[in-house]
Amino acid sequence: MTSTDQTDTDLRSLLNDVLGLGAARAAALTADSGLFGALPELDSMAVAGLLTEIEDRFDIVIDDDEVDGDMLGTYGDLLAFIARKRGEA
Amino acid sequence: MPATWPCPGPSGIADEYAVLFDRARAVRLLIVPPLFEEMNRTRRMLVETQRQLDGLGVDSMLPDLPGCNESGQVFSAQSLGSWRDAMATAARHFGATHVLAVRGGALVFPTGLPGWVLEPQKGASILRQLLRARVLSAKEAGREESSADLLEQGRNKGLELAGYRLSAALVAGLDAAVPQDEGQRVIRQSDLGGSALWLRSEPGEDPAQSAALARLIAAEAQG
């Protein structure tokens, strides 16, 4: 498994923990699956919690300035952002 | 069972609520809940843990932090100091022999009691998440705010974060506070199985986790 595959697995697991999606919905996320704006559970408090968990589990620091619709719009956007932060892409 | 206990506050003694399972048994566990939204997210889990503990022969009490849940006291008058005083008062009132502090509860629990802390959290992490939520919702509304400016403002004059009016003392206290456990055993989420309920954007429950937590505490307390 490459580190990017591992990031994908870990991010699905994290979204499952934060959003309570259940394993099946978490596994069914595709790059185009909408996140912020598409999932009503994902309000600003939930996004703040999600970002804090991402920082802890992926050992990265996210500036408030980096958080916007481009980063959180879809599952693919968020995965690419984390991979870039970790120097994987 | 709901019970009340007398809690000192700025305007005298206030009656605060607690969920109490009391059959005058030898082990009496005080549960200090997490702070802010995590308190709501974990409430069902903690009350279910109390039911399980009751079945395992352990008494327990889950008091409200002043200003939170059913409390009639004003949230904006609270600080880590007032919560520490309140939890120490509740421990004495109910004759607690052990303590379980959950997440941010580890910042305010009575440290003289033996017991457990569940995934303790630093005050600065709690504050950072609250500040971030505010910056994000401001951004959605087309306003630019910065966490650093808000923190400065909060330390001087207090601040509204995620619908809570935090006093300057609470902001400064959170910014500096680390978990107070010293000798209490740290329980990790991996010890309970499943995923952490305090992370959930919508409150959930998981009876298996509550049962695992209760078994662990009962076994260690009853030695």
pLDDT value for A18: 87
Task: Say how far residue B12 (Cα) sits from the centre of its chain.
Answer: 23
Average pLDDT, chain B: 95
Q: What is the mean pLDDT of residues B178-198?
A: 93
pLDDT value for A89: 60
Tens-digit pLDDT profile for residues B67-95: 999 999 999 999 999 999 999 999 999 99
CB contact under 8 A, A44 and B204: no
B133 vs chain A: nearest CA distance in angstroms? 5
The domain locations on chain B are 2-121+179-222, 123-178
| Alpha-carbon Rg for chain B in angstroms | 17
Strand B2-9 with B159-161, pairing: unpaired
CB contact under 8 A, A20 and B129: no
pLDDT band of residue B65 (cuts 50, 70, 90) is very high
Report the b/e string of B106-115 with b at 16+ CB within 10 A: bbbbbbebeb
A5 vs chain B: nearest CA distance in angstroms? 21
Residues 36-75 on A with a CB inside 8 Å of B are: 41-49, 51-53, 64, 67-68
pLDDT band of residue B217 (cuts 50, 70, 90) is very high
Contact B113, B96 (CB under 8 A): yes
B125 vs chain A: nearest CA distance in angstroms? 8
Tens-digit pLDDT profile for residues B138-157: 988 899 999 999 999 999 99
Q: What is the mean pLDDT of residues B96-108?
A: 98
pLDDT value for A1: 57
CB contact under 8 A, B133 and A45: yes
pLDDT at B136 over 80: yes
Which residue ranges form the domains of chain A, and what is each CATH number? 3-85 (1.10.1200.10)
Across the interface, which of A41, A64, A68 has its CB nearest the CB of B201? A41
Domain B2-121+179-222, architecture per CATH: 3-Layer(aba) Sandwich (3.40)
Q: What is the mean pLDDT of residues B112-132?
A: 95
pLDDT value for A20: 81
User: What is the dihedral angle through the alpha carbons of B47, B184, B4, B160, rounded to the nearest 10 degrees?
Assistant: -80
CB contact under 8 A, B201 and A68: no
pLDDT value for B95: 98
Of the two residues B200 and B27, the one the predictor is more confident about is: B27
Contact B58, B1 (CB under 8 A): no
CB contact under 8 A, A43 and B201: yes
Q: What is the mean pLDDT of residues B2-8?
A: 93
pLDDT at A38 over 90: no
- What does the DSSP 8-state code read for residue A64? G
